[in-house]
Structure 1
Amino acid sequence: MAVLCCPAVSVPEHTLTMEDTLHLAERLHGDHDQLPLALKLISNTGVRTRHLIQPLERTLRHPGVEERTKVYVREAKARIPTVVNRALNNAGVTAADIDAIVLVSCTAFTMPSLTAWMINELGFRYDTCQIPIAQLGCAAGGAALNRAHDFCASHAGSNVLIVSCEFCSLCYQPDDLDVGNLLSNGLFGDAVAAAVVKSHSAHGLRLEGHGSRLVPETEDWICYAVKDTGFHFRLDRRVPRTMEQLAPALRDVAAAHGWNASALDFYVIHAGGPRILDDLSRFLGVAPDRFSFSRATLTHCGNIASAVVLDVLRRLIASGTLRPGHRGIVAGFGPGITAEISIGTWLGDGDRHLDGGSATASSDEQTPARPVERSATS
């Protein structure tokens, strides 16, 4: 049975507060006829702080898709190694022990995937399977867990590394005055996260099962409008209402293993926004405080897309409230509208020190993942 080890998470060093965001919106869009609505929506997100890979003045400029892609690649290569190294250490493995890499990101496009660079530069074997996922948005965090689970189930004794690299600030569109886009300017943040899923381990979250659910006829409710200037985020106001349809999907996945989704020990839920959490709490029949770690991620990091579920899990593990045998659910939501759901049992963390990261990290603090000796045939 696959076991998810403690994730490692890093957020960039440049911070933006809620107050900064509101003042910026008033300064840049003072004559927008729907500015009061946008300010209200941003205020209601509850996002106290977000983190950016570039200083604000650079973030606000749009140098073109080509330059933004170069920034994405440069910053990813500077920040991924440290987070990967922490994740490997948490799992007690080296790069040579990894059989597949699932890399998820929806904030830039590269070909080949950054998995190729990771294999070439960070000591992974040349026969490591590459599984990049680019179009599931925020749901990709849950999808990464499920695809890693599938890989371990079909490849006995294997280990899978999950990496989430989300630089949402590179999707800022200064000339896009759509209210949904203005809301996104006050909601999303940047982060890199990683975790290892092992086929066998005495420590971590044992993944018991998983499932997917698509809400019919909602594919344009969360989407990118792809234009000459890049990705323009679109968010329909009906999105939070989909929790009424997705709550039964969570119940079904849990029930397939004889579990009651309303009476679990922990919940790792994608924090797309406070309304998502409020509605899911109501339709799932659980107290709002059961989603406290999801709310903490939203408050301190904003919506960090596919990295959310890994950060929520990191916070949960760091809290020290988990006990061996505790059962819980992990759920990511994103474009489609898609839900990716996992259930698992906490096995404990033993006496090992787990480095989940979470502190802001500048580029000069990055250290490479542990290199390995490669044979001529590896």
Structure 2
Amino acid sequence: MHRTVNLSGLGLAVPDHIIRQADAAALAESLFSGRMKGFRHLAPIFSNSGIRRRHTVQPLSWFIEPHGWAERMQAYVEGASRLFVEAATRALRQAGLTAQDVDCVVTVSSTGFSVPSIEARVAGEMDFRPDIERVPVFGLGCAGGVSGFSIASRLAASRPGARVLLVAIELCSLAFRLDEPTNVNVVASALFGDGAAACVLTVGEGGIASVESTGEHLFPDTLDIMGWTVDDPGLGIVLAQSLPHFVSSRIGPVIAEMLSGNGLDVTEIDRFVCHPGGAKVLDALEGALSLGQGTLNDERQVLAEYGNMSSPTVLFVLERAIRAGLPERSAMIAMGPGFSVSCITLRRAA
């Protein structure tokens, strides 16, 4: 029997430290200009990125010193735990529920390691029940907000009356590396920020919107487009310059195919809610989805205020779309390592 899964609550959280783009640019110049012949050609990315500021779990001064795995992961555990509690508490409050009402928690994160996982570390503070089901998910990267939402919705649908909490947390800034004077590291230092978002998914209890369809597509032979390397000092960014071109040429047909598989056409989508991976990626998405220039300006605004926070960023866009008033049908789209694309369609609650 088909069960309608509803989004009943959505909560956001960001760290207290704010890095303004001009300050990040000045720091990058001081750290890399003397070690990179091509730094002057890369420097304009800070002003051309469309980003004004970002939130980080550590102050700007922290990034001037070298840090190894132990320090980075300690900062990850502490920062991710705080953001989990803040985002989850806000989402549950909006849904009119408490942590005791949660039957299953899906935690999505790809920017740090913690065993036990973050939801176990904060279980006492949150006051989760001892019989809560835990589903930690690693490796989805920027696609994790949509893919995690899909996983959580399927778990909710499979358990009548279950309430599922999704929390996407990323501390991208902790991957910043002084030891890597490379183009991709400079680009990453201009784009990424930290944040978390939480969603409450329920069946048959009303809410903000209902999940209509889900879909994912994994492109073969694309492992080098996006991801992490695992090095002695920490994680290293993998981010291909060809990403905007890939989006322009390959994403449109795949989205159309996913929608068609669920009996939908692209023209039936009233609002696209896209992960803002970067200014050029948003331009490419508007072209790939045959949208007018400026259609994804909410995404650009989120990017300007928070940078690319990886998995939770698309949920920041969704929250903005909800505040503005969701249309009849929306489609959430995010791309991530693999290379992959995920899509969920939502119907506005009656």
TM-score by length of structure 1 reads: 0.87
1:8 is aligned to: 11
Deviates more, 1:228-237 or 1:116-125: 116-125
**CA shift at 1:317, angstroms?**
1.2
Query: How far is 1:170 from its partner?
Result: 0.9
Within-5 A mapping of 1:1-378: 1-31=4-34, 32-243=36-247, 244-319=249-324, 321-323=325-327, 326-347=328-349
Supply the distance in 2 between the matched residues of 1:90 and 1:198 (Cα, whole angstroms).
Answer: 13
Per the TM alignment, residue 263 of structure 1 is displaced from its structure 2 partner at its CA by: 4.6
**Does the 8 Å CA contact 1:102/1:130 hold for their aligned counterparts?**
yes
Distance across 1 between alignment mates of 2:275 and 2:267: 17
* Closer, same or farther: CA 216–156 of 1 in aligned 2, 3 Å: same
- Greater shift, 251-260 or 283-292, is seen at 251-260
Give, in whole Å, the separation in 1 of the partners of 2:153 and 2:313.
18
Q: Whole-Å Cα distance in 2 between the matches of residues 99 and 261 of structure 1? A: 35
Matched AA of 1:342 = I
Any conservation in 1 of the 2:67–2:233 contact (CA below 8 Å)? no
What whole-Å deviation, never above 9, does each CA across 1:72-109 have from its counterpart, x for those lacking one?
A: 11222333222211100111211122111111111110
Contact 1:191 1:307 in 2 (8 A): yes
Partner deviation per Cα, 1:130-178 (whole Å, 9 max, x = no partner): 1111111111111111001111121112111011111111111011011
Contact 1:209 1:253 in 2 (8 A): no
Rounded to whole Å, the distance in 2 between the matches of 1:60 and 1:346 is 46
Deviations 1:256-306 (A, max 9, x none): 343322452211101111121111111211123321221111111000000
Structure-2 residue corresponding to 1:375 = none
- CA distance in 2 between counterparts of 1:286 and 1:78 reads 38
Matched residues in 2 for 1:170 and 1:28: separation?
16
Cα distance in 2 for residues equivalent to 1:205 and 1:255:
21
**Secondary structure, counterpart of 1:163 in structure 2:** strand
In structure 2, how many angstroms separate the alpha carbons of the residues matched to 1:261 and 1:9? Answer: 29
Inter-partner Cα distance in structure 2 for 1:299 and 1:246 = 24
The one-letter code sitting in structure 1 at the alignment partner of 2:152 is A
Taking structure 2 as the reference length, the TM-score comes to 0.94
Deviation, 1:22, is: 1.8
SS in 2 for 1:305: coil
Task: Quote the Cα distance in structure 2 between the aligned partners of 1:202 and 1:153.
Answer: 14
Larger RCO (CA within 8 A; separation ≥ 6)? 1
Do the aligned residues in 1 keep the contact of 2:177 with 2:236 (CA within 8 Å)? yes
C-alpha contact 1:251 1:261 (8 A) present in aligned 2: yes
- SS of the residue corresponding to residue 186 of structure 1 reads helix
1:209-233 Cα shifts (integer Å, max 9, x gaps): 1111112211121121111101011
Check conservation: 1:213, 1:246, Cα contact below 8 A. Answer: no
Partner Cα separation in structure 2 for residue 4 and residue 257 of structure 1: 20
CA distance in structure 2 between the aligned counterparts of 1:6 and 1:145, rounded to whole angstroms: 12
Letter of the 1:14 counterpart: H
- What is the number of residues matched between the two proteins? 345
Structure-2 separation of matches of 1:203 and 1:275: 34
Where does structure 2 lack aligned partners over 5 or more consecutive residues? none
The separation in 2 between residues aligned to 1:13 and 1:120, in whole angstroms, is 23
- With 286-295 and 273-282 compared, the bigger mean Cα shift is at 286-295
Q: Which residue type is aligned with residue 127 of structure 1?
A: D
Amino acid at match of 1:21: A
Distance 2:309 2:285 in 1: 19
Question: CA separation in 2, counterparts of 1:20 and 1:121?
Answer: 35
SS of match in other structure, 1:315 = helix
CA distance in 2, matches of 1:294, 1:279: 13
